[in-house]
Structure 1
Amino acid sequence: TQGAQEAASEMLPLLLLLLWAGALAWEQRFRLEGPELLTVQEGLCVLLPCRLPPIYSLRYIYYGYWFLEGADVPVATNDPHEEVQEETRGRFHLLWDLSSKNCSLRIRDARRRDTAVYFFQLKQKWPNFGYTSYVSSKLSVCVLALTHRPSISIPGTLESGCSRTLNCSVPWACEQGTPPIFSWMSAAPTSLGPRTTQSSVLTITPRPQDHSTNLTCQVTFPGVGVTMERTIQLNVSYAPQKVTVSIFQGNSTALKILQNTSSLPVLEGQALRLLCDADGNPPAHLSWFRGFPALNATLISNTGVLELSQVGSAEEGGFTCRAQHPLGSLQISLSLFVQWKPEGGVSGVLGAVWGAGTTALVFLCVGFIFRVKTRRKKAAQPVQNMDDMNPVMVSGSRGHQHQFQRGIVSDHPAEADPVSGDEQELHYAFLRFHKVQLQEPEVTNTEYSEIKIRK
């Protein structure tokens, strides 16, 4: 009918418009250039490259969207009317530039759970009608554990007492990420210097005792809560602080340490080994000199070891060990005294003297006993005058006792008993000891002890 024809004619433009709009909403595919799999370590940044397909007109509005496969909410977009995922907000950025056809995605502070498959979608919107969609190929991202460690650089050589600047850097960290936190740990005196997002400066003034100690730079990435560190041992150059001498005498393994100038007694003929040591870094050059430094000492050993196979009078005197170092030298001196061994002749004389003295002492004791006994008998019996110097001992029978009182003289002297056949005889012994004079070993001399016996 005529009414139906009129209705159809009115709907035809609308159908054409719907067909046209539907055509504009069709999706077109394009392929991303570059690898299909990207890897990144946690806490770092990664760029997903993307280049826009050819666009026929710049008179329309274009929006870009990056999606996680299987999600309806984008992880990044330049559409102000579109929300993004909470997990990726602030970390995923769309690098949008129509003039250069750039549609790349940058991920900073990468996390392990960011491992996924992503794709890009371009929407070309027509005013009042709809849009044309361009969907890219898929791209996989794999986030690995962080294995990079910071680097520590030391310009020049560390010298005791001199300040040096150390630098701890993480050049592999991205500048767009959350700035890392640097921490230093050291026993040496230090002070912090300026820092950047990728480095930190430390000023150190090492001491001799800081040699071989640890210095650690620790870097924490707060975006992911990961901490990495590097530890080095300080190599501090310093002059010798002390020199010691280890002494080995004869076959003995006993060790004596000398830290100051001192005297060293050594037995004549004994072997002597002196080992000198110093604590500088790098090691000092050690040498031995005969004499003392102030007396123009003579070099006798170009090492720290001095061996004397047989010590005699020629070795008596001063010895100096010198530790020479580019940063300063140190030395230690000692005086060697030779103790002489006693000769065999002198020992024989001393033995004879001791023997004679012992014998004389025995005779002296015997004579003293006889003298006491004789005097007691003389007090009880009359004394007979003798022409010679020997007194007469009057003895009686063993069973007869003589009694007397002190201070009372008898008017009638007692009758003398007959002298027995075993008449006891008293001898006086005069002992004369001469002081022994020790002579030089080369001179042989004999000393005599004189014993005189008179009857």
Structure 2
Amino acid sequence: MVPLLLLPLLWGGSLQEDPWFELRVPESVTVQEGLCVHVPCSFSYPGSSWSSPKKLYIYWFRGGDNDYLVATNDQTKTGKMGTQGRFHLVGNPRHNNCSLRITEARKSDEGVYSFRVQADHMAYSYRAKKLTVKVPALTQKPDIHFPEPLKSGYPTNLTCSMLGSCEEGRPLTFSWVGRALDSLDPQTLHSSVLTLTPRLQDHGSNLTCQVHLPGGQDTVERTIRLNVSYAPQKLNISIFFSDVAVPKILENTSSVLILEGQALGLLCAADSSPPAELSWFRGSPARNATRIYRSANLDLPQVGAAEEGDLLTCQAQNPLGSQHVSLRLSVVYPPRLLSPSCSWEGEGLHCSCSSRAQPAPTLRWRLGEGLLEGNHSNASWTITSSSAGPWANSSLSLSGPLGSGLRLSCEAWNAHGKQSAAFLLLPGRSVFLAGAVPAALGGAGAMALLSLSLCLLFFCLVKARRKQASGSREGLDDEDPVMGTVAWDINSRIGRLPGWLSC
């Protein structure tokens, strides 16, 4: 009898929730215009946990009355125009589920919503618990998802999605825009999934996904900048000389001319994404060359002749590949005379002269006021010259009477300098090597060398006169040939005097 007495109280509900009736629903939900929202909801009533009424209907109303119906499972009732097809019950009322889904939200959907349950002999409005729906303007932007990194030449699927869009509502309209799409079929640009094979030239370009929402004029978009990974390319070497401020750029394997002793700076650069690791090798990396520096810069403070022909290689490497470029050092330097000498052979004088330089030097002889070069001969002299690589050799044979004090010199020269060695023919068939003089020798050094030569010449003449006065003629005629040698250090300003120098 007690339940019958309660029915009049339970029918209408009250502002103070009856402990037998409970509604669990958020106080407020927010959904932007054109999007969807799911409102979780559950309810209970007396006997809901153990009874199973024949009829069980639930209703959602907007406003404070029960006239503006928006959703129900009662097929005899229909929702108000403007909400039909957009407000859906998504739970099973017999499982105490009253969840609501709002699709394609409109500004007019804003308001307070109330819930009502109706069973066989019971109806109750949960007036103490309300749902507030807020519908602000659309600001949500779509999202673009894709596996990273984007690799040049590899197909990739990019997906455009709209958080809060409705799966059960009318479909969204997608459009893709961007320079990277100029080679694609336009029909493929209106799907939420785009298959793109990025190219190297697409790196850094913009890609936009536009989404048009149904039921309105709203279009939202998201733009991303493509970060395309690719192997190193356009590798080049910038060359800095110690006396040249403007660098020279090499892209292909070639030689670089540099003067011996000059400083050389090399800077390697490559276009790659991600940035490549740059290293320097002596030789070619393909032949197990030795890494000499792990950096883009390689500084050679003083290039020596021993580095002539060296192959220097810059390698750029990232996870997608590698590339290398090489240059060969061509070290140029002025001539160096090596062991010029003269000796008496029979009734003639035989002199030889060798020089090394890069490029190969030219050798010639000066006899008195005359200039002798090449391969020539006559009754008085014969010249034989040859060259191989950086070496040049020349020999001079003189026959017939030679006057005392005859001047004879060997000269070696190329585009980068000149060096000469002078011989003096002294009485008694002696040959004196006055010294090797590089073209770069300053006036003070030349005067010092000349003074030294004159002093030695005077000393030798005095000694020869004394020998004549003591009747040593026979000893002079039997004197051994005199061989002359010169060692010249390119880094010094004055030659080292030969150890044999005596009269």
- Asked if the contact 1:166/1:204 (under 8 Å) is kept, the reply is yes
Aligned with 1:331 (options 315, 318, 324): 324
The separation in 1 between residues aligned to 2:13 and 2:297, in whole angstroms, is 89
Correspondence 1:136 to 2:126:
yes
Q: What's the CA shift for 1:52?
A: 6.1
Q: Alpha-carbon deviation of 1:273?
A: 0.4
Residue by residue over 1:355-381, the C-alpha shift from the partner in whole angstroms, topping out at 9 and shown as x without a partner, is: xxxxxxxxxxxxxxxxxxxxxxxxxxx
Scaled by the length of structure 2, the TM-score of the pair is 0.53
Q: CA deviation at 1:259?
A: 1.2
Identity percentage of aligned residues: 47
Change beyond 3 A, Cα 1:251–1:70: farther
Following the alignment from structure 1 to structure 2, what is the Cα–Cα distance between the partners of residues 186 and 266?
49
User: Structure 1: which 5+ runs fail to align?
Assistant: 1-22, 127-131, 344-435, 447-455
**Structure 1 residue 37 corresponds to structure 2 residue 14:** no
CA separation of 1:70 and 1:244: change in aligned 2, threshold 3 A: same
Residue 306 (structure 1) aligns with:
298
Q: How far, CA to CA, are the matches of 1:32 and 1:296 in structure 2?
A: 77
Residues 239 and 122 of structure 1: CA distance in aligned 2, closer, same or farther (over 3 Å): closer
Amino acid at match of 1:112: K
Superposed, which structure 2 residues align to 1:305-454 within 5 Å? 305-325=297-317, 326-340=319-333, 439-440=412-413, 441-445=418-422
User: Does 1:107 pair with 2:102?
Assistant: yes
SS in 2 for 1:202: strand
- In structure 2, how many angstroms separate the alpha carbons of the residues matched to 1:294 and 1:37? 69
Structure exhibiting the larger radius of gyration computed from Cα positions: 1
Deviations 1:2-32 (CA, angstroms, capped at 9, x unpaired): xxxxxxxxxxxxxxxxxxxxx7996334653
Give the direction of change, closer, same or farther, for the CA distance of 1:175–1:338 in structure 2 (3 Å limit): same
Which structure has the highest strand share of the two? 2
The alpha-carbon distance between structure 1 residues 164 and 223, as it changes in their structure 2 partners (threshold 3 A), is: same
TM-score by length of 1: 0.57
Partner in structure 2 of residue 270 of structure 1: 262
Q: Deviations over 1:187-238 (max 9, x none)?
A: 446879xx9xxx9433222222233433444444324554444444434332
Equivalent residue for 2:279?
Answer: 287
Q: 1:122 to 1:239 in 2, by over 3 A?
A: closer
- CA shift in 2, pair 1:169/1:95, >3 Å: closer
Deviations 1:90-122 (A, max 9, x none): 212345855334444432122233220112345
1:243 aligns with 2:220: no
Q: Quick one: structure 1 residues 265 and 58, their matched pair in 2 at CA, closer, same or farther if it must change by over 3 Å?
A: closer
CA–CA separation in structure 2 for the residues paired with 1:25 and 1:268: 108
Aligned-pair CA distance for 1:274: 0.8
Question: For residues 137-187 of structure 1, what are the alpha-carbon distances to aligned partners after superposition, in whole Å with 9 as ceiling and x for unaligned?
Answer: 232222244555544443364332222333344465443333333333444
How far is the alpha carbon of 1:260 from its aligned partner?
A: 1.7
Give the equivalent residue in structure 1 for 2:155: 163
Deviation at 1:332, TM superposition (A): 1.9
> What residue is the counterpart of 2:450 in the other structure?
none
Relative to structure 1, the CA distance from residue 88 to residue 169 in structure 2 (aligned partners, 3 Å threshold; closer, same or farther) is: same
- Going from structure 1 to structure 2, the CA distance change for 1:167 and 1:191 (only over 3 Å counts) comes to farther
Specify the alignment match of 2:69 in structure 1: 74
Residue of structure 1 equivalent to 2:480: none
Given that 1:68 and 1:75 are in contact with CA atoms closer than 8 Å, whether structure 2 keeps it comes out as yes
* Structure 2 residue identity aligned to 1:33: R
